[in-house]
A and B are shown apart, each in its own frame.
Chain A
Amino acid sequence: MSDTSTQIPMVDYLVLGDDPHLQATKCTSCGSAYFDRRNACASCFGTEFSTEPVATEGIVTAFSIVSFAAPGVPTPFVAAVIDCDGTQVRGNIINCEPDADTVSLGMAVKLATYSLGADSAGTEAIGFGFEPA
């Protein structure tokens, strides 16, 4: 990877560096995974959490090819749910044609990062998606 000191992840659960991956907040008693902070686990009400890496490979369990979105959102894009070794992740399918001949249910994908561009201070934002594995 390039120098990460001037990079910022698009969301705080994306970890940059040599081995980019997502991380989840996991309940230490039941293992439920969350991507934001929780006061108590929504499943078992436990209040202890740890931060765990999420598998970078998974399969597509649902998708939609979105042709109409809010102004400013480039279309078409593929919105999907990816099962990453038991953790459900929301993300776009990228680096392939956004059509129903290319994207399919059950398709194997892996995490990929891309640049959202640099801001006025020269900091580059890095986003993530999933590409065909």
Chain B
Amino acid sequence: MASDDIFILGINMTKFGKHPDKDALDLGAEAVMAALSDGGVTMADMGILAAGNLLGSPGFGQSLQKQVGQTGIPVYNVANACATGATALRTVVMAIKAGECDMGLAVGVEKLAGAGLLGGGGKPKSDDDTWTPNGRYGAVASTDGRIGTQTMPGVFAQVGMEYGHKYGGTSFELFAKISEKNHNHSVLNPLAAYSKSMSLEQIMGDLMIAYPNTRPMCSANCDGAAAAVLVSGEKLKSLSDEQQKRAVKIRASVLTSDPWQDGCQILPDVNTLTRMAATQAYEAASVGPEDLDLVELHDCFATAELVHYDNLMLCDEGGAVDFFESGKPFRDGERPVNVSGGLQSKGHPISATGIANVWEVCHHLRGEAGDRQIDGARIGLAHVIGLGSACGVHILESAAA
């Protein structure tokens, strides 16, 4: 191993789902303690903590230290929408790469069970007594529902429909089939919030949220946490054979934001920044999409998974529908996508997601994924996107490779 490489030494995700008896600190601490234990290290070894808890209180990282060990190390509380976990990971990567420390901890936690609609949801919308222009658009009334939608299921529905307009071949049934794949994958994942297979009929017949996304085609709001311990290649050399053998190499760690695109001022453009991140990651890792043994991508909605086949270049440009229909992204296919069950069934505790996706990939690369193990997995990719936007892509490789 080269000294300037960076490795994941320990990593953990909690069970995703409803945890009414645990708060964000309990869940975060559970993931942190387990990740430290998985790596065979303690808080005394950590040189930095990057923590994300989007819906929590400021200073979450410091509160977490009080649960697991206060050593005076720098804490970075990070927030980047659904890419918060990947941002925490990336922050630790940068600190180690900069030589500021040789080991660090990244953690993401969310309490989201029962949160309902995200985006425009939540507060009731009521108009004022008089029409008074407000805000950057001089709006006299709430624009949500009057000038498009701000709710996530509707926004991402349009993302998938836009792909259909551009390249053709999409339908309600196609998007539902993508969801069917992920729900069927989830059956093998004991940590998933929902691990029941669903038939196409069940999915299409379920409650319509925002056409073409029915309820099971939307990511599941749930509670959960994930944490990772990162180490420099130089430091790893001084650790045990067992630690070296289970370490997972970070071949690429990339974070991008939206470059200017005409349409992105109106509808979030989740495509361009993902394609940029993937291009940079493949180049940094000196691998191509054809080298990936598994991919965990950000299927916050069934409509989103389709466009990311294309954005991550798992298929030719415009070929996402054919790619799916060829069976390649199924767990027995050539390029398994979301064998964890994806966000639609595993769940999406926002800040945890960007580390949990990496955990899933590491689990396979270490050969520890049990019943859902992708045999012989050596290289995998984890992708997340947070609207606004931020995109994180990590390419990982088993140390045994």
Binding site for B on A (CB under 8 A): 8-13, 32-37, 42-43, 60-75, 77, 79-81, 88-92, 100, 105-106, 116, 119-121, 123, 125, 127-128
Complex interface residues of chain B between 115 and 174 (CB less than 8 A to chain A): 117, 120-131, 133, 136-149, 151, 153-155, 157-159, 161-162, 164-165, 172
Top 9 A-B pairs, shortest CB-CB distance:
A12-B138, A73-B145, A64-B157, A65-B211, A62-B162, A72-B125, A79-B149, A71-B124, A62-B158
For the complex formed, measure the closest distance between the CB of B133 and the CB atoms of chain A, giving whole angstroms: 6
In the complex, chain B residues whose CB is within 8 Å of the CB of A60? 165
> Assuming A11-B137, A73-B142, what are 13 further A-B pairs, CB within 8 angstroms?
A9-B140, A62-B159, A62-B165, A63-B161, A64-B154, A64-B210, A66-B153, A70-B121, A79-B210, A91-B148, A106-B165, A119-B131, A127-B147
User: Which of these, A37, A74, A88, A119, contacts B129 with CB under 8 Å?
Assistant: A119
Q: Is the CB of A68 within 8 A of B209?
A: yes
From B120, B213, B263, residue with most partner A Cβ within 10 Å? B263
A92 to B398, CA, bound (A): 49
B208 within 8 Å of A by Cβ? Answer: yes
Tell me if B266 and A100 are in contact (CB < 8 A).
Answer: no
Q: Say yes or no: is B265 at the interface (Cβ < 8 Å to chain A).
A: yes
Please judge, given known A-B contacts A62-B165, A64-B158, A70-B125, whether A8 and B211 are in contact too, CB under 8 Å: no
A contact residues around B133 at 8 Å (CB): 8, 12
A127 touches B146 (CB 8 A): yes
CB-based nearest A residue for B120: A70
- In the assembled complex, which residues on chain A have CB atoms less than 8 Å from the CB atom of B158? 62-64, 79-81
Q: When the two chains form their complex, are residues A68 and B151 in contact, meaning their CB atoms are under 8 A apart?
A: yes
A43 close to B138 (CB less than 8 A) = no
A37 to B, closest residue via Cβ? B136
| In the assembled complex, B267 has its CB within 8 A of some CB on chain A | yes
Selected from B142, B151, B159, B262, the residue in CB contact (under 8 A) with A66 is: B151
| Given A10-B139, A91-B147, A125-B140, A66-B263 contact (CB < 8 Å) | no
CB-based nearest A residue for B157: A64
Q: In the bound complex, do residue A120 and residue B120 qualify as a contact, i.e. CB atoms below 8 Å apart?
A: no
| Closest partner residue, chain A, to B126 (CB atom) | A72
CA distance A80 to B162 in the complex (A): 10
Q: Is B172 touching A100 in the complex (CB atoms < 8 A)?
A: yes
B122 A70 Cβ-Cβ under 8 A? yes
**Shortest CB distance A118–B (Å):** 8
Smallest beta-carbon distance B43→chain A, Å: 42
Identify B211's interface contact among A13, A74, A100, A116, CB under 8 A.
Answer: A100
Chain A residues near B128 (CB, 8 Å)?
A: 119
Q: Which residues of chain A have C-beta atoms less than 8 A from B149's C-beta?
A: 64, 66, 69, 77, 79
Nearest opposing residue in chain B for A59, CB measure: B165
Contacts of B129 in A (CB 8 A): 119-120
Question: By the criterion CB–CB under 8 Å, are A120 and B130 in contact?
Answer: yes
> CB-nearest residue of chain A relative to B145?
A73
Known contacts A69-B149, A80-B158; is-contact A35 B265 (Cβ 8 Å): yes
Instruction: Tell me which residues across on chain A come within 8 A of B263, comparing CB atoms.
Output: 81, 88
Instruction: State which residues 260-274 of B face A: CB under 8 Å.
Output: 260, 262-263, 265-267
- Shortest distance between the CB of A78 and any CB in chain B (Å): 9
- From B136, B140, B153, B260, give the contact of A8 (CB < 8 A): B140
Give Cα distance in the complex from A86 to B377, angstroms: 46
Measured between beta carbons, the chain B residues less than 8 angstroms from A11 are 137-140, 143, 147
Whether B147 lies near A92 (C-beta < 8 A) is yes
Could you say which residues of chain B place their CB within 8 Å of the CB of A68?
117, 151, 153, 207, 209-210
Chain A hits for B143, CB < 8 A:
10-11
Chain B 298-329 interface mask (CB, 8 Å, partner A; 1/0): 00000000000000000000000000000000
Q: How far is the CB of B203 from chain A (nearest CB, A)?
A: 15
B228 to chain A, nearest CB (A): 34
A67 to chain B, nearest CB (A): 5
Which residue of chain A has the shortest Cβ distance to B208 in the bound complex?
A: A67
CA distance A24 to B133 in the complex (A): 17
The one of B142, B155, B162, B172 that contacts A61, using a Cβ cutoff of 8 Å: B162
What is the distance, in angstroms, from B215's C-beta to the closest C-beta of chain A?
9
CA distance A123 to B132 in the complex (A): 10
> Taking each of A10, A65, A120, A123, which has the highest tally of chain B beta carbons within 10 Å of its own beta carbon?
A10
